Chains A and B, each alone.
Chain A
Amino acid sequence: QQPVQSPQAVILREGEDAVINCSSSKALYSVHWYRQKHGEAPVFLMILLKGGEQKGHEKISASFNEKKQQSSLYLTASQLSYSGTYFCGTEANAGGTSYGKLTFGQGTILTVHP
């Protein structure tokens, strides 16, 4: 089942902050965040694992609430280059074993204006 992202779209001015949320009905092993610019491939931003471990770019921050199966991506002091569609990909908790099988949300379109 596809995770649900909110909001569907966000419009910002440079320097403003935004939060993108991802919610799943399944128990999760990990949450992955990707950004995709128009006509390009998705690019990795961050992975959050149950237990609190995170891997990703230093300038990106995110959280993972294991009890609620929710993750949030925090974009602070936005830049024009942050524009794009943000996807969360969730991996269900298969008894503690991870295989990289991701189910992606429908995406959140972020537009940053000068």
Chain B
Amino acid sequence: DAGVIQSPRHEVTEMGQEVTLRCKPISGHDYLFWYRQTMMRGLELLIYFNNNVPIDDSGMPEDRFSAKMPNASFSTLKIQPSEPRDSAVYFCASSFGAGPYEQYFGPGTRLTVT
């Protein structure tokens, strides 16, 4: 089975540009999580969905960040406008059921904002 798929794997953009990160969860998984990883702040949960509905977006840093899940097999994380401090690795993870179930992480998108 294919794991969690993320695209692009690397993104380099200039400050002020819009960035869209994409994620395809494992088929059948009903929870999807977006994380951000930096050296300074570690691995942070940004938002998560259950059955395509956002459950908790308290980790989204600013209004510049938005996430959608239009269907069970696709989610996007958008940053507009992007800033240099948004540079990080963004991971998408999915799980079948919440809580005591393992989360499967995608390979991540390394975002660099210059």
> Hey, which bits of chain A sit against chain B, CB under 8 A?
2, 29-30, 32, 34, 40-44, 47, 49, 53, 55, 87, 89, 91, 97-107
> Hey, which bits of chain B sit against chain A, CB under 8 A?
31, 33, 42-45, 48, 50, 55-56, 91, 95, 97-108
Shortest Cβ distance from B106 into A: residue:
A41
Q: B43–A41 contact, CB under 8 A? A: no
**CB<8 Å pairs between A and B, sample of 30:** A29-B99, A32-B102, A32-B103, A34-B105, A41-B105, A41-B106, A41-B108, A42-B43, A44-B102, A44-B104, A47-B101, A47-B102, A49-B100, A53-B100, A98-B98, A98-B100, A99-B55, A99-B99, A100-B31, A100-B48, A100-B98, A100-B99, A100-B101, A100-B103, A101-B48, A101-B56, A104-B42, A104-B43, A105-B42, A107-B43
Q: B107–A40 contact, CB under 8 A? A: yes
Bound Cα distance A98, B31 (Å): 12
Q: B56–A47 contact, CB under 8 A? A: no
CB neighbours (8 Å) of B100 from chain A are 30, 47, 49, 53, 55, 98
Number of cross-chain contacts by CB at 8 Å: 64
Main secondary structure of the interface of B (DSSP, over half): strand
8 Å CB contact of A87 from B31, B33, B43: B43
Shortest Cβ distance from B105 into A: residue:
A41
Q: How far is the CB of A5 from chain B (nearest CB, A)?
A: 10
Q: A102–B103 contact, CB under 8 A? A: yes
CB neighbours (8 Å) of A91 from chain B are 99
Bound Cα distance A34, B104 (Å): 10
Given A40-B107, A41-B91, A55-B102: A99 and B56 interface contact (C-beta under 8 Å): yes
CB neighbours (8 Å) of B50 from chain A are 99
